[in-house]
Amino acid sequence: MKLQNGLTPLVVLLIAAVVITTAIGGLSAYSKIKESKDIENKPEEIPDFYIEEFPTSTPTPSLKPTLKPLPTRIPLSPTLLTAKINVQISDNGTPISDSSIYFFLRNESSAQEQIIKNANSGYWTLSGLKPAKYKMYVSYSYNDYMNIEKNCDGCQNKEEISNPGSCGYTVDLSAGDNIQLFCTLRRVKPLSSQPVDFQPSDDSTPPNTNIYYPQPNGPITYKIDGQICAIANPPNDNSGPEGIETEYRFDNENWSGFTVGRGYLCTPSLSNGPHTLSYRSKDRVGNVESTKTLQFTVNIPGN
């Protein structure tokens, strides 16, 4: 039997089978292509952690806290555990090589003392000192030198030593301290008494006296032998320095009277604050200097 289109039923069945098979094959190919594209477009998964040092294994995270190693203890340098003292004396800037001058140092905690002679033209350096309270001073002859200035750079809790013939302080030394003690001395030119063979001359000029310490309107900051003192230069006079006498007074005190001295003009006590020094000198032929005055202040801790 033939259909209207002239095909037999068997032929129609064969054609239908071919069409169905082709459709199924196309659908399968499409599914594979889509699956391949989905894989290509899928984002890469990021691992929870990554340890570069161990790339071949996946370690299990630990819940225990990470303990850092204790820092290495570095021993301190001995220099940082000790202190250093530098001392310098001079005669108005000129190094002093006088071997009779020495430096005294005492550890007030251990009572250890050092006395070091002046063997290096007025310079001392002491290292490796243990932290403690120290008493330190330069010792000199009271009859040969005047201590006109002193200072202690870097000193802690310093207390001035005012004994005659000494320049220094009591200080606290801490680890790592590097302090500087400066003492300016001035050689004393003693004024001798009038020589027996002296004959008066035609000199009618009075002597000229100048105060070296303190400066006008300047401070007195330390005591000498427990007293408040100004320091005078040796007076100038046409007849020479021999036999020149000086008298003075502080504020409204009595005049000291004309005496031959060594340049120290002292009074037992003066309160901190402003004061006036009056002074004049007389030479060996009797010429008297006009009275001079000096305004100054006293500024001494604990005075």
C-beta separation of 90 from 184 below 8 A: yes
Give burial (CB, 10 Å; 0-12/13-18/19+) of 111. exposed
Residue 79, φ and ψ in degrees, nearest 5 = -65, -35
C-beta separation of 279 from 232 below 8 A: yes
* pLDDT number for residue 244: 85
- The pairing of beta strand 156-161 with beta strand 166-173: antiparallel
- Render pLDDT for 188-197 as a digit per residue (tens, 0 to 9): 765 444 444 5
Percent of the chain scoring above 90 in pLDDT: 35
* pLDDT number for residue 74: 54
pLDDT at 170 over 90: yes
Among 160, 158, 183, 180, which residue's Cα sits nearest to residue 171? 158
pLDDT at 22 over 90: no
108 pLDDT tier (thresholds 50, 70, 90): very high
Domain boundaries, the chain: 78-187, 211-298
pTM: 0.50
Question: In CATH, which of 2.102.10.10, 3.40.50.300, 1.10.1200.10, 2.60.40.10 is domain 78-187?
Answer: 2.60.40.10
- When the pLDDT of each residue in the chain is averaged and rounded to a whole number, the result is 77
Residue 297, φ and ψ in degrees, nearest 5 = -125, 155
| Overall fold of domain 211-298 | Immunoglobulin-like (2.60.40)
pLDDT at 53 over 60: no
What three-state secondary structure class fits 110? Answer: coil
The length of the chain is: 303
